[in-house]
Amino acid sequence: MRQQTTSAQQTKKIGEEMAREILKMPLGNNAIVLALEGELGSGKTTFTQGLASGLGVKGRVLSPTFLVVKEFELPHTNKTMLYHIDCYRLESTQELLDLGFKSIITNPKHIVIIEWADRVKEILPKDTKWIRFSLAGEDKRDVDVI
């Protein structure tokens, strides 16, 4: 499904809508994993801010480029943690595995959102939901949920 946005607020709203869908899902066997891909400035972090807000995260959500993994508690939901991962600076998938990635994605109470996920696609679960962001003009972004 493709949606086009013309503002950061619209991109955040798509993230908030995705959060509402996720909160309706029953717990499965593993974490819900969202893989984001797209060029720099295409809306990945803005979408993540909307998703986090929709999940009840308080405060600012920034891209964890230098931290790689940032975690947020999710009170008042059947999910307990949101993990925001940024793979932009990773040189290998092993770096992510060394940070406990396998234990993060095998907990059904976790939601994991990964920016620059194409860099680690070989270690992502088969049921990962991919979301592609692309620039579609000066102030336009295409958001494709696959």
**Which sequence spans correspond to the domains of the chain?**
2-145
**What pLDDT score does 143 carry?**
97
**What pLDDT score does 141 carry?**
94
**What pLDDT score does 77 carry?**
87
**What pLDDT score does 101 carry?**
98
> Which residues touch 102 (CB under 8 Å, ≥6 apart)?
none
The span from the CA of 83 to the CA of 111, in Å, is: 6
The span from the CA of 86 to the CA of 65, in Å, is: 5
Sign of torsion over alpha carbons 40, 121, 86, 28: positive
Summarised one tens digit per residue, pLDDT across range 64-120 is 766 799 999 998 889 999 999 999 999 999 999 999 999 999 999 999 999 999 999
Averaged pLDDT, 117-132: 97
Bridge-based pairing state of the strands 110-115 and 32-38? parallel
Dihedral, 25, 10, 128, 36 alpha carbons, nearest 10: -150
CATH of the domain spanning 2-145: 3.40.50.300
The span from the CA of 105 to the CA of 108, in Å, is: 8
Judged against a pLDDT cut of 70, whether residue 37 lies above it is answered with yes
Dig out the tokens for 94 from the structure: 């092993």
Whether 71 contacts 81, CB under 8 Å: yes
**What pLDDT score does 66 carry?**
64
Q: What confidence tier does 139 reach under pLDDT thresholds 50, 70, 90?
A: confident
Summary mean pLDDT of the chain: 94
The span from the CA of 68 to the CA of 65, in Å, is: 5
**What pLDDT score does 104 carry?**
98
